[in-house]
């Protein structure tokens, strides 16, 4: 065992003395040491209940013959960080989380690892750490919040963001928005729809790194406590058999995760995160994998924000095992941390509501929920949640409205300076340029709330999983390093074609060359985390990983 390096032999007497001060017994000195990376805190709604889940994990580890050691991991709430300077720190936190877990695992020589976390960057960071350290590992995702409720209608956080636009449009009073705000978020758990947090929970289960039904079981459901206990128990066989993350996270299992992503119509952020996880696992994964699988896998679950169904509804309909069941003809038979293979889980699963988790013969859309675009405006690619785009906007040509940053764009949107048909460009918000590639949920929600139907938004930044509408992000290369987005001028014609998967700037090459010569990259004064991040981060089409 790895932990023998800190507890075996007379030379390790000082190490053992410190362990004994923790209450470790002679019997426990012979057992596997299991680290529990717990993202519990009292600022993130998705994390406030993780202390209770971690206790059940500890019970499971001890009952199965291991010794649990718990340590803390940071977590940022994207919703609270949204729309201001704090959002620039969200994506960089993914790398911090991976680094901090690696530091704890490697310095204390744990034999196994259980990651307890929820939310957008925390779960990806944990998976990156698991793949990087490559000791037997399992992930417990914390589960979704129950839906809010008002006047016979289920609510989620996105109703509040879109309510801001409705107030600006004069279609809702501030008092009504305040009442909505008090009803939408009833307790602990990640935001209710298939936003990034819940999409990544689904991806974790789909790639085999969490137990069956973990992703969709609500945060407050007693079933989540049982899964937590079983997760603690399950790590010990993984340690004894030396089943490591890179045995689970493979090209085939990541492609399974992408297939489930396409079937669900998940967040565009999964492109960034799955590629970052693949990088840590040393698995080749590219935008082409997403693009090709989008053509093969139909969109069969109409989830919030594009559709009506919450994560609680997905859970009641059978969860990810039921999605496996409907997709089993398309899935690779990969191993999972449960000891069961994917197709065994799929065959034994029950689809409890075939209107929520539809058969392949009755899809919502024939193609998957995400599309990868390319063209003269995005030579290295861009991403759109096509499941959330109305068919009448799949082909669109309109004038560019150019903003150097989210704040300026938001001011123009709320000031009603945008017209139907406009193509709003928010640039210098990429990994290096922002830095931190902030999400644009505030402007996209304001556009929806204001009632616009044919306003397209393009950015080298990101979108929340709560975004819906014709919003294209991750444009690469980004404006700050001289990508084509930097050379767009007000009223240039932009052409979007989701059918052809193209995004083009309709300006001559000669004019672009002229604009390049006159362009200078903007310089932002940076210190601390953001300075280090901007100096080392790669482009979005490679997962925005730090070099």
> CA 526, 527, 529, 532: dihedral to nearest 10 degrees?
70
Q: Please, which residues bridge with residue 138 across strands? A: 114
Could you tell me if residue 501 is left (phi over 0), alpha (psi between -120 and 50 degrees) or otherwise beta?
left
* Contact yes or no for 357/307 (Cβ under 8 A): no
Sign of the torsion angle spanned by Cα atoms 211, 215, 219, 222: negative
Show the 3-state SS of 306-356. Answer: CCCECHHHHHHCCHHHHHHHHHCCCCCCCECCCCCEHHHHHHHCCCCCCCC
Angle at 44 between CA 61 and CA 73, to 5 degrees: 45
Active-site choice (253, 291, 464, 508): 464
What is the C-alpha to C-alpha distance for residues 394 and 63, in angstroms, rounded to an integer?
55
Show the 3-state SS of 277-315. Answer: HHHHHCCCCCHHHHHHHHHHCCECCCECCCCCECHHHHH
Assess whether 291 carries a catalytic annotation: no
- Tokens 């017994």 correspond to 25
Can you spell out the DSSP letters for 404-451? SSHHHHHHHHHTT---TT-EEEE-S-STTTTTS--B-HHHHHHHHHTT
Residue 414 structure tokens: 């709320």
Could you tell me if residue 143 is left (phi over 0), alpha (psi between -120 and 50 degrees) or otherwise beta?
left
Sheet holding 112-117, edge to edge: 67-72, 33-38, 112-117, 137-141
What is the C-alpha to C-alpha distance for residues 298 and 296, in angstroms, rounded to an integer?
7
What is the C-alpha to C-alpha distance for residues 410 and 426, in angstroms, rounded to an integer?
10
What is the C-alpha to C-alpha distance for residues 429 and 417, in angstroms, rounded to an integer?
21
Other CB atoms within 10 A of residue 443 CB: 30
What is the C-alpha to C-alpha distance for residues 101 and 93, in angstroms, rounded to an integer?
12
Say how far residue 294 (Cα) sits from the centre of its chain: 18
Residues taking part in catalysis:
464
């Amino acid at each position: 065992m790895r932990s023998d390096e800190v507890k075996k032999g007379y030379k390790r007497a000082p190490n053992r003395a410190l362990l004994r001060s923790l209450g470790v017994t002679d019997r426990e000195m012979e057992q596997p040491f299991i680290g529990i990376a717990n993202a519990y805190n009292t600022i993130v709604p998705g994390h406030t209940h993780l202390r209770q889940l971690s206790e059940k994990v500890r019970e499971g580890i001890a009952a199965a013959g291991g010794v649990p050691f718990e340590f803390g991991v940071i977590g940022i709430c994207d919703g609270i960080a949204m729309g201001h300077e704090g959002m620039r720190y969200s994506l960089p936190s993914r790398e911090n989380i991976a680094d901090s877990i690696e530091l704890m695992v490697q310095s204390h020589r744990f034999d196994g690892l259980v990651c307890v976390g929820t939310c957008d960057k925390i779960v990806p960071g944990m998976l990156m750490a698991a793949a990087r350290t490559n000791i037997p590992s399992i992930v417990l995702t914390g589960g979704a919040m129950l839906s809010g409720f008002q006047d016979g209608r289920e609510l989620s956080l996105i109703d509040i963001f879109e309510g801001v636009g409705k107030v600006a449009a004069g279609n809702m009073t501030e008092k009504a928005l305040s009442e909505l705000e008090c009803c939408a978020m009833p307790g602990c758990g990640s935001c209710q729809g298939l936003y990034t947090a819940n999409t990544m929970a689904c991806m974790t289960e789909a790639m085999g790194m969490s137990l069956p039904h973990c992703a969709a079981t609500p945060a407050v459901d007693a079933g989540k406590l049982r899964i937590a206990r079983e997760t603690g128990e399950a790590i010990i066989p993984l340690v004894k058999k030396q089943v490591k993350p890179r045995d689970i996270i493979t090209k085939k299992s990541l492609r399974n995760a992408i297939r489930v992503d396409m079937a669900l119509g998940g967040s565009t952020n999964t492109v960034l995160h799955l590629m970052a996880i693949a990088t840590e696992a040393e698995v080749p994964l590219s935008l082409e994998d997403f693009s090709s699988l989008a053509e093969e896998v139909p969109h069969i679950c109409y989830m919030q924000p594009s559709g009506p169904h919450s994560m609680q509804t997905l859970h009641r309909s059978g969860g990810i095992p039921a999605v496996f069941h409907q997709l089993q003809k398309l899935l690779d038979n990969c191993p999972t941390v449960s000891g069961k293979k994917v197709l065994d889980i799929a065959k034994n699963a029950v689809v409890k509501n075939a209107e929520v988790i539809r058969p392949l013969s009755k899809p919502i859309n024939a193609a998957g929920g995400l599309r990868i675009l390319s063209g003269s405006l995005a030579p290295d690619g861009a991403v759109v949640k096509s499941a959330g785009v109305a068919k009448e906007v799949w082909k669109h040509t309109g004038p560019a409205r150019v903003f150097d940053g989210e704040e300026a764009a938001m001011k123009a949107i709320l000031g009603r300076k945008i017209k139907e048909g406009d193509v709003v460009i928010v640039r210098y918000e990429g990994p290096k340029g922002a830095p931190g590639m902030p999400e644009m949920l505030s402007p996209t929600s304001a556009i929806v709330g204001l009632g616009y139907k044919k306003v397209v938004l393009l950015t080298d930044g990101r979108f929340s999983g709560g975004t819906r509408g014709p919003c294209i992000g991750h444009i690469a290369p980004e404006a700050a390093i001289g990508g084509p987005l930097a050379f767009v001028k007000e009223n240039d014609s932009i052409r979007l074609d989701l059918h052809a998967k193209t995004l083009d700037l309709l300006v001559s090459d000669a004019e672009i060359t002229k604009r390049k010569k006159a362009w200078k990259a903007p310089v932002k004064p940076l210190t601390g985390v953001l300075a280090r991040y901007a100096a080392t981060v790669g482009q979005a089409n490679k997962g925005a990983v730090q070099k």
